[in-house]
Structure 1
Amino acid sequence: MIKINLTLMFFSTLLLTHQPALALSDMQMQEKVLKTRESTASPHMDHSAHEKPTDEKEVFHGVFYGFLPCDDCDGLKMTLSLKQNNNYLLVSQFAKASSREFYEKGKYTWDEKTRVVVLTPRKDAAIRQFRIQDEGTLIQLDSKGAPMPGNQDSYTLRRSDTVKSRQVHIH
C-alpha cells in the first residue's frame, strides 16, 4: 500500500512539474486585450503628446570628484553630489594624512544659457558656482562667477561615471 501511494505521488509530482501552464493570469490577459484594442482602434495615433515633458533642470544630477588647489594648504579633495529635487551634498577634505571631512548641504540651481551651477548652502556659508563644461565636467568659479586664476583644469570636478576610479591623488 505504501509503495502504491509513493508511486502515485511520484508520478503526480512528475506530471505537474513537466506540464507547462497554459492559462494566462488575469493581469496578463488584461494587458494583452488593452494592447490589441489600442493597435486596432487607432493604429496611427501619436501618443507622444501624453508623455510628461522632461524638464532639463530636473535631469542634471550626479556625483562629481576632484582635487582642487588651496591657497593655505596642499590641496582640497572635493566630492559634490547633485541629487534630484535640486538638493546637494558637498564633502571637502584638506590634503593631510588624517584630515577630517567637512559637509555642506543645500539647494542648487543651474542655468542652461549661462551653463552655471549655483550652490546655495543651508547654513551661513558662501555661495559656490561651477561652470558646466560638459555633462561630466564642472569647473569651479570664484565668488563673482569669474574663472579662477591659473590653470582651469586644476579646478575641475568630474562626474563619477566619466572617470575610471573614485580615488583622487593627494600629495
Structure 2
Amino acid sequence: MAIVLLRVDERLIHGQVVVGWCGPLHVDRVVVVDDDIAASPWEQELYILGVPPEMEARFASVDEARTQVAEWRDGPRRVIALVRDIPTALRLAEGGVLDGVEVNLGGIHHKEGRVRVLPYLHLDDRDRDALRRLAATGATVSARDLPSTRPVPLDELLELAG
C-alpha cells in the first residue's frame, strides 16, 4: 500500500510532519485534503514553503481525494495524506474508502468543550463519536505524536477521554 499514513493534524504541513513523519516513512508525496485550501492557490503556496524540494505536495478537496485514494494505494509513490480534523477524515473514509489505512491522530488542540486525552490530543463528544464511526469504515485509528512513540489505539483513547 502506497498510503503510508493519514494524519489528522490541525496544523497540516509543519516541521513535525515533514521531519518527524515524512523522513522516517520515506514519503515522497504529501497530500493535503481540505476543501478550503484546495480552492485557495495562495494558501497552497504558503504550505508548499514547508515541503522539501524532493517531496511533491498536492492539494485536494474531500470529493477529489475520495476519487484518488485508489491511485494513491496502487501507485509507486509513498503518500502521507493530511486532514485538519476528524470530520474531514470521516468524510474521506465514507463507504470504506480508507479500509485498512492507518489514521493517526496527531495534533488536535484544546478548545472549549474538548477534554485533554494526551498532551497533543483533545476530544469532545462529537469527536469521539466520529472516531467510532471512522473505525467502523475499516480504518485503523490510533494516536501518536511521532513514529518512534507507542501508538495509542482507539479503544484506549476513548477510555482515557472518559
Compute the TM-score of the two structures, normalised by the length of structure 2: 0.26
Bigger strand share: 1
Higher CA-based Rg? 1
Bigger helix share: 2
Compute the TM-score of the two structures, normalised by the length of structure 1: 0.25
Q: Which has the higher contact order (CA 8 A, sep 6+)?
A: 2
